[in-house]
Amino acid sequence: MSVNDDTTSSMLKRLADDPMLVLNKMASENGSLDLGLGFPNFPPPHHITQALSDAATGNNFTLHHYTSPYGHPRLVNVLAKLYSKFLSTTLDPTDHVLITIGAFQGLSSICQSLIYPGDEVILLEPFYAAYKTMLEMRGAVPVYVPLRPYKDGGEQSSANWVFNTAELQKAVTSKTKAIFLNTPMNPLGKVFDKKELREISDLCVKHNLLCVADEVYERLIYGGKQHTRIASFPNMWQRTISLGSAGKSFSVTGWKVGWCVGPKHLIQVLQNYHFSAIRTSPTPTQEALAVAFEKEMHVMNTPESYFQTISKELELKRNRLCQYLNKAGFNAITPDGGCYIIADISNILAHAVGKDKISEEALDYRFAKWAVTEKKLCVMPLSIFYSEAHRYMSEKYVRICFLKTDETLEKAKEILDEWKQS
Ligand code: PMP
The last residue of one of the domains, among 277, 299, 321, is: 299
The number of distinct structural domains making up the chain is: 2
- For ligand 1, say whether the CB of 215 is within 6 Å of any of its atoms: no
| Alpha carbon nearest to ligand 1 atom 14, residue | 102
Do 383 and 348 lie in one domain? The reply is yes
Do 72 and 24 lie in one domain? The reply is no
Do 76 and 207 lie in one domain? The reply is yes
Mutation choice for ligand 1 from 134, 186, 242, CB with most ligand atoms inside 8 A = 186
d(CA 347, CA 322): 15
Distance 57 CA to ligand 1 centre (A): 29
Do 318 and 386 lie in one domain? The reply is yes
- For ligand 1, say whether the CB of 102 is within 6 Å of any of its atoms: yes
| All residues at 6 or more sequence positions from 135 whose CB lies less than 8 Å from its CB, including other chains | 111, 115, 121, 123, 141, 142
Radius of gyration of the chain (CA): 21
Distance 181 CA to ligand 1 centre (A): 13
d(CA 162, CA 159): 7
The last residue of one of the domains, among 270, 299, 328, is: 299
Mutation choice for ligand 1 from 123, 125, 245, CB with most ligand atoms inside 8 A = 245
- Please tell me the predicted confidence (pLDDT) of residue 358: 67
- Please tell me the predicted confidence (pLDDT) of residue 421: 85
User: Is the pTM value of this prediction over 0.75?
Assistant: yes
Sequential pLDDT tens for the chain (422 residues): 455 556 667 777 777 788 999 999 999 999 999 999 999 999 999 999 999 999 999 999 999 999 999 999 999 999 999 999 999 999 999 999 999 999 999 999 999 999 999 999 999 999 999 999 999 999 999 999 999 998 776 778 999 999 999 999 999 999 999 999 999 999 999 999 999 999 999 999 999 999 999 999 999 999 999 999 999 999 999 999 999 999 999 999 999 999 999 999 999 999 999 999 999 999 999 999 999 999 999 999 899 999 999 999 999 999 999 999 999 999 999 999 999 999 999 998 878 887 766 677 899 999 999 999 999 999 999 999 999 999 999 999 999 999 999 999 999 999 999 988 88
Do 132 and 240 lie in one domain? The reply is yes
- Please tell me the predicted confidence (pLDDT) of residue 1: 46
Q: Residue 379 in contact with residue 35, Cβ under 8 Å?
A: yes
In the chain, how long is the greatest CA-to-CA distance?
65
Do 214 and 129 lie in one domain? The reply is yes
- Please tell me the predicted confidence (pLDDT) of residue 203: 98
Do 27 and 124 lie in one domain? The reply is no
What CATH number is given to the structural domain containing 96?
3.40.640.10
The last residue of one of the domains, among 299, 320, 338, is: 299
Do 36 and 90 lie in one domain? The reply is no
Distance 302 CA to ligand 1 centre (A): 27
What CATH number is given to the structural domain containing 350?
3.90.1150.10
Q: Which H or E element spans position 367? A: helix 363-375
Do 110 and 212 lie in one domain? The reply is yes
Q: Which domain holds residue 83?
A: 46-299
- For ligand 1, say whether the CB of 251 is within 6 Å of any of its atoms: no
| All residues at 6 or more sequence positions from 19 whose CB lies less than 8 Å from its CB, including other chains | 365, 368, 380, 381, 384
Distance 204 CA to ligand 1 centre (A): 23
Q: Residue 179 in contact with residue 173, Cβ under 8 Å?
A: no
Do 281 and 238 lie in one domain? The reply is yes
- For ligand 1, say whether the CB of 247 is within 6 Å of any of its atoms: yes
Distance 106 CA to ligand 1 centre (A): 10
Do 274 and 382 lie in one domain? The reply is no
Atom of ligand 1 nearest to the CA of 214: 1
Distance 216 CA to ligand 1 centre (A): 6
d(CA 77, CA 259): 12
Do 113 and 261 lie in one domain? The reply is yes
- For ligand 1, say whether the CB of 255 is within 6 Å of any of its atoms: no
Q: Is 253 exposed, middle or buried (0-12, 13-18, 19+ CB in 10 A)?
A: middle
Atom of ligand 1 nearest to the CA of 37: 8
- For ligand 1, say whether the CB of 258 is within 6 Å of any of its atoms: yes
- For ligand 1, say whether the CB of 38 is within 6 Å of any of its atoms: yes
